[in-house]
Amino acid sequence: MLDLTDRTHCFYWQTDRILSGEEYVRIFLKRHEESSDMMEKILLNGIKTVKSITSLEIIPPDENVLKGNVNIVRKVILNGKPYIVRMHPRGVKNGYFYAEKCALHACKLKGIPVPRILEIYEAKNEDDMDFMLCSLTPGINMDIYLRDHADAEQQLLVCAGKQMATIHSIRVEGFGFFNNQIAKEKNELVGIHKNYHDFIWSGLEENLDRLVGFNILTTLQADKIKQIFITMNFEPIGRPCLVHNDMADWNLLTDGTELTGVLDWDECHAGDPIADLACWSTFYSIERLEQFLKGYMMIQTLPKDYDKRFHYYRLRYTISKMALRCKRYQVDKADFILQKIEIGKQALIEESAWFHL
């Protein structure tokens, strides 16, 4: 069984999980090729919350459930009632479902629209699959909705900013990724690091080495960037907060007016709220961020050193995501990966210029 539960050396888990090219292809590029019959067998054997299952139908995937990069997500009909299941690929231990459950519970208490986790099942062997059974959250994927309703973008960005600000009102312990075992045993969110600095440095040197190896950076440029993280350090102001860490449009549901769901908490951690804003900005333009911040600042106040914090974290996320794209390109030569690499190159130039490198 491939064990990916240890996130001690991960800054962005999607980037820093240690996998061979073959494992990457099997787990993350081909995970949706698992047969419905096999998944149905595992679900029927594992689900205990729904008693006396008389019928189970796995709905074929559509755009709404094919957006993620880690889990197999399916809508299922159990005894005539709809649910969502999120399943790890076979032979893989991820080990973050309990942390996600705690995060969702904390969000629910704040009125944030999130699904409810009804059950978590842990695989017994390599032919089995970890999975969580969730309530079905109404709405359309925001990324898909905006394709045909561009006029709703500004309003929905404000809504998204307000939801992120509300998430940041949830205070947690520790720093970085959460200890899944503590979440399982005590229903508490506790980060695995003693400070945020250690989390920021997790995987940094490997990420920079990878970018040098792919000729994205020169050795001199990588050394100058490393100096930024040696000489600068930001810790959360007060206690760390819950950071979603992946709150892009494709992880949000909407009814066209409001957000109806905030999904995919696999990257959530304990940290600085400005890191969440910086992470969000790596998906979109700075101009789009301005509208997002209108909603955010209806609830939260930005710190006086916001600009420094924002660009410090944005540089770190850009490095991490570029390392991920380079890693993926080794096994997936899709044109859109090349496009993402080119976008990332420009972001690195922008952030390097901000720091006068």
Q: Is 91 exposed, middle or buried (0-12, 13-18, 19+ CB in 10 A)?
A: middle
Average pLDDT taken over every residue of the chain? 93
Mark whether 227 and 252 lie in a shared domain: yes
Mark whether 95 and 184 lie in a shared domain: no
Mark whether 36 and 123 lie in a shared domain: yes
Residue 128: phi and psi, rounded to 5, are: -100, 175
CB-CB neighbours of 25 under 10 Å: 15
Mark whether 65 and 161 lie in a shared domain: no
Q: Is 248 exposed, middle or buried (0-12, 13-18, 19+ CB in 10 A)?
A: middle
Mark whether 111 and 147 lie in a shared domain: no
Mark whether 213 and 309 lie in a shared domain: yes
The residue out of 95, 114, 135 marking a domain boundary is 135
- What are the distances in angstroms from CA 244 to CA 23, 230, 266, 347? 26, 26, 8, 22
Strand ordering across the sheet containing 131-135: 56-58, 72-78, 81-87, 131-135, 117-121
Mark whether 34 and 101 lie in a shared domain: yes
pLDDT tops 90 at residue 76: yes
The whole-angstrom separation of Cα 171 and Cα 162 is 17
Q: Which has more pLDDT, 205 or 95?
A: 205
The whole-angstrom separation of Cα 33 and Cα 26 is 9
Question: Nearest CA to 357 among 301, 319, 329?
Answer: 319
Q: How many domains does the chain have?
A: 2
Q: What pLDDT, in 10s, does the model give residues 311-350?
A: 999 999 999 999 999 988 888 788 888 888 998 999 999 9
The residue out of 113, 135, 157 marking a domain boundary is 135
pLDDT at 102: 98
Residues for the chain: how many in total? 357
Give 77's DSSP letter. E
Mark whether 128 and 231 lie in a shared domain: no
Question: Nearest CA to 153 among 64, 68, 257, 276?
Answer: 257
The residue out of 104, 135, 166 marking a domain boundary is 135
Mark whether 195 and 300 lie in a shared domain: yes
How many Å from the N-terminal Cα to the C-terminal Cα in the chain?
A: 44
Q: Which structural domain, as residue segments, surrounds residue 113?
A: 2-135
Q: What pLDDT, in 10s, does the model give residues 28-65?
A: 777 667 788 999 999 999 999 998 899 999 998 876 66
Q: What is the CATH number of the domain that holds 117?
A: 3.30.200.20
Distance from CA of residue 84 to its chain's centroid? 18
The whole-angstrom separation of Cα 46 and Cα 131 is 9
Beta bridge partners of 252: 262
Q: Is the Cβ–Cβ distance between 77 and 52 less than 8 Å?
A: no
- The answer, as to whether pTM is greater than 0.85, is yes
pLDDT tops 60 at residue 68: no
Distance from CA of residue 1 to its chain's centroid? 23
- R_g (Cα) of the chain, nearest Å: 20
Q: What pLDDT, in 10s, does the model give residues 298-320?
A: 999 999 999 999 999 999 999 99
Q: Where are the alpha helices (DSSP H) in 219-272?
A: 219-231
What residue type is 52 in one-letter code? S
The whole-angstrom separation of Cα 13 and Cα 2 is 15
Three-class DSSP category at 226: helix
Q: Is the Cβ–Cβ distance between 86 and 72 less than 8 Å?
A: yes
Mark whether 191 and 321 lie in a shared domain: yes
In which residue are the tokens 């939801």 written? 163
Mark whether 144 and 91 lie in a shared domain: no
The whole-angstrom separation of Cα 341 and Cα 103 is 32
Mark whether 199 and 333 lie in a shared domain: yes
Q: What is the CATH number of the domain that holds 266?
A: 3.90.1200.10
